[in-house]
C-alpha cells in the first residue's frame, strides 16, 4: 500500500437510503480488513460531513469519522440500522462529463472529499451505496487518474446497495428480500382488512424506477393486480410515452368489476412508486427532488392519488360506491431486521470488497455475486456510460419473473366504459 511499514488504513462509507443487512456488509469488510492488519475508519453520515473538509483543518472523531474497533463488530451482522450512518450527498453533482474533472469550479466538491480522505491517511475506500454513490465512487477513481504521479492514491471499491434490486452487474442486491418480506406481510394484513370490510387497497411500494419490489411484494403478499413501470405500454401509454391516466384508472376499475362478477368485493393492488415519474407533467409539477434530481415519491403519494381516481371512476361506471384506500409502503422496511439471505449476501459482498483490495489488488471495481454467491468484480467502465450515469435494470416484459407475477394475479377482463 502507500506507506510501507505502517498499518494500511481502509475507509468505509455508506451513502443513500438505508437497507437491511447494511451492517452485515460493514461487519464483514471491517473484520476481514482488521484481521489483515489494517485500521478501519468509518466515514460518518455518508459524504455529507467530509465534503465540507478544508485543508489544514482537523477532521473530528465522532463527527467526521469513527475508528471501527473489534467491540463494534460484536453482533453487528444482524443489527438493524447502519453503524456509521448515512446521508444523501452528491459531491460530484457539478460534473457532467469527464472533461469537467479539469474544471476546478466543477470538481471542487469532489476535491474536498479526496483531500479529506488523504487527511485521514486512507489507502483505500470501500463505498457502499446505490447508483448515485457508484457514480461518486467512479468520479473519485477518475479524478485520481488525472493527478500527478506522486500524488496520494486512495483505491476505490464499490459495493452495490439498493432494496430496489434495479442494479446492473449483480443478480440481487442485499436488503431486497428483507424489504419484500416486510412489505408482503403488511400487504397480507391489508388483504385481510379488505376482506373484512369488503373494500380495496391501492398500495404503492418503494422501488424507484423499476418494478422489482412491487412484483416481489405482490407475489409474496398475494395481491390481485400489480403494475410496474415495465407494464406501461399499449393502451396504458399516451403518445408522449407517459401514463394515460384515464386508461390506467379504467384498467384498475376493470379489476374491481371482474372480481365483482365472481362474487368478490375486495382486493389489493400494488403499484411501483416509479410510476409517478411517468405521470402526466401536470400531475408532478413542482414535486420535490433529491440531490440527484430524482422525484421525492413520498410527496407524490401515488397510492392515494390512484385510489381517489378509481373510486370516482367506479361510481361513474356502475353508479355504486366502493371504498378504495391508498397506502404507501417502504420506509418501514429499510431498517428492518435483515432476512437470513440478505445477511449471507451482504457478508459475502463485504468480504468481496476486502478480497478485491488485498487479494486481487483492484481499483475502480464493483463487487458482485452470481450463482451460489460466487464473487466477481465488475470494472466501473462496464457500469457507467459516457454521460457518467448508471443504467437502471428493469424487469424484462415477458421474462419468467414478469410472467410469474402476472399469472398469479387476477385475470382482468376489460369491461369497457
Task: Give residue-wise pLDDT tens across range 63-115.
Answer: 999 999 999 999 999 999 999 999 988 898 899 989 999 999 999 999 999 99
CATH of the domain at 69: 3.40.50.450
Whole domain around residue 276: which residue ranges?
177-335+396-408
Domain presence at residue 387 = no
Which of 123-127, 387-391, 394-398 is least confident?
387-391
Question: For 159-217, how does the pLDDT look when each residue is reduced to its tens digit (9 = 90+)?
Answer: 999 999 999 999 999 999 999 999 999 999 999 999 999 999 999 998 878 899 999 99
- Shared domain for 118 and 63, answered yes or no, is yes
- Shared domain for 75 and 146, answered yes or no, is yes
pTM beyond 0.85: the answer is: yes
- Residue 290: the pLDDT is 63
Pairing of strands 200-205, 267-272: parallel
- Residue 1: the pLDDT is 43
- Shared domain for 201 and 330, answered yes or no, is yes
- Shared domain for 217 and 300, answered yes or no, is yes
Domain presence at residue 194 = yes
Question: Residue 8: which of 121, 111, 112, 107 has the closest Cα?
Answer: 121
For cell 379489476, name the residue.
255
Q: How far apart are CA 156 and CA 140, in angstroms?
A: 8
Share of the chain residues as helix, strand and coil, in percent rounded to the nearest 5: 40, 15, 45
Question: For 399-414, how does the pLDDT look when each residue is reduced to its tens digit (9 = 90+)?
Answer: 999 999 999 999 888 7
Give the mean model confidence (pLDDT) for residues 119-130. 96
What are the CB-based long-range contacts (under 8 Å, 24+) for 403-409? 404/215, 404/219, 405/215, 405/218, 405/219, 405/226, 406/226, 408/218, 408/219, 408/222, 409/218, 409/223, 409/224, 409/225, 409/226
Give the mean model confidence (pLDDT) for residues 288-314. 81
Question: For 166-179, how does the pLDDT look when each residue is reduced to its tens digit (9 = 90+)?
Answer: 999 999 999 999 99
Q: What percent of the chain has pLDDT over 90?
A: 80
Q: 119 by DSSP, 3-state: which?
A: helix
Answer for the pair 29, 138: CB distance below 8 angstroms, yes or no: no
- When the pLDDT of each residue in the chain is averaged and rounded to a whole number, the result is 92
Report whether pLDDT(117) > 50: yes
Instruction: Domain count for the chain, please give it.
Output: 2
Report whether pLDDT(340) > 50: yes
- Shared domain for 267 and 361, answered yes or no, is no
- Shared domain for 352 and 233, answered yes or no, is no
- Residue 327: the pLDDT is 95
Domain presence at residue 4 = no
Q: How far apart are CA 127 and CA 141, in angstroms?
A: 11
Pairing of strands 365-370, 374-379: antiparallel
- Shared domain for 148 and 188, answered yes or no, is no
Domain presence at residue 3 = no
Q: 57 by DSSP, 3-state: which?
A: coil
- Shared domain for 200 and 225, answered yes or no, is yes
- Shared domain for 85 and 200, answered yes or no, is no
Cα distances (Å, whole numbers) of residue 387 to 170, 171, 384: 21, 24, 8
Give the mean model confidence (pLDDT) for residues 309-324. 96
- DSSP bridge pairs for 271: 204, 227
- Shared domain for 132 and 187, answered yes or no, is no
Amino acid at each position: 500500500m502507500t506507506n510501507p511499514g505502517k498499518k494500511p488504513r481502509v475507509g468505509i462509507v455508506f451513502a443513500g437510503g438505508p437497507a437491511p443487512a447494511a451492517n452485515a456488509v460493514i461487519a464483514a469488510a471491517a473484520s476481514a480488513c482488521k484481521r489483515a492488519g489494517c485500521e478501519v475508519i468509518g466515514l460518518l453520515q455518508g459524504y455529507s460531513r467530509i465534503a465540507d473538509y478544508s485543508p489544514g483543518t482537523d477532521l473530528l472523531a465522532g463527527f467526521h469519522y469513527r475508528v471501527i474497533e473489534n467491540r463494534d463488530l460484536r453482533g453487528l451482522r444482524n443489527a438493524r440500522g447502519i453503524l456509521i450512518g448515512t446521508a444523501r450527498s452528491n459531491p460530484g453533482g457539478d460534473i457532467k462529463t469527464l472533461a469537467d474533472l479539469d474544471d476546478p469550479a466543477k470538481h471542487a466538491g469532489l476535491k474536498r472529499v479526496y483531500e479529506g480522505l488523504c487527511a485521514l491517511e486512507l489507502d483505500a475506500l470501500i463505498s457502499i451505496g446505490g447508483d448515485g454513490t457508484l457514480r461518486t465512487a467512479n468520479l473519485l477513481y477518475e479524478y485520481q487518474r488525472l493527478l500527478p504521479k506522486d500524488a496520494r492514491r486512495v483505491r476505490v471499491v464499490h459495493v452495490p446497495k439498493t432494496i430496489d434490486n434495479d442494479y446492473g452487474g449483480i443478480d440481487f442486491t442485499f436488503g431486497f428480500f428483507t424489504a419484500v418480506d416486510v412489505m408482503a406481510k403488511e400487504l397480507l394484513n391489508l388483504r385481510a382488512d379488505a376482506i373484512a370490510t369488503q373494500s380495496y387497497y391501492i398500495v404503492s411500494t418503494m422501488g424507484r424506477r423499476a418494478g422489482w419490489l412491487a412484483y416481489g411484494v405482490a407475489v409474496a403478499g398475494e395481491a390481485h393486480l400489480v403494475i410496474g413501470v415495465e407494464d406501461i405500454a399499449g393502451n396504458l401509454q399516451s403518445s408522449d410515452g407517459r401514463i394515460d391516466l384515464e386508461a390506467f384508472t379504467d384498467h384498475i376499475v376493470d379489476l374491481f368489476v371482474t372480481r365483482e362478477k365472481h362474487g368478490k368485493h375486495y382486493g389489493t393492488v400494488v403499484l411501483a412508486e416509479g410510476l409517478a415519474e411517468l405521470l402526466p407533467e401536470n400531475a408532478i409539477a413542482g414535486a420535490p427532488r433529491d440531490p440527484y434530481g430524482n422525484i421525492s415519491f413520498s410527496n407524490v403519494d401515488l397510492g392515494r392519488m390512484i385510489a381517489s381516481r378509481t373510486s370516482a371512476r367506479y361510481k361513474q361506471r356502475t353508479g355504486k360506491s366502493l371504498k378504495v384506500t391508498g397506502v404507501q409502503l417502504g420506509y418501514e422496511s429499510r431498517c428492518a431486521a435483515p432476512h437470513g439471505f440478505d445477511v449471507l449476501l451482504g457478508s459475502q459482498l463485504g468480504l468481496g470488497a476486502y478480497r478485491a483490495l488485498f487479494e486481487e489488488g483492484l481499483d475502480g471495481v464493483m463487487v458482485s455475486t452470481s450463482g451460489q454467491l460466487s464473487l466477481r468484480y465488475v470494472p466501473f467502465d462496464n457500469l457507467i456510460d459516457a454521460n457518467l450515469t448508471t443504467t437502471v435494470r428493469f424487469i424484462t416484459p415477458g421474462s419468467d419473473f414478469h410472467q410469474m407475477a402476472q399469472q398469479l394475479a387476477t385475470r382482468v377482463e376489460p369491461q369497457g366504459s
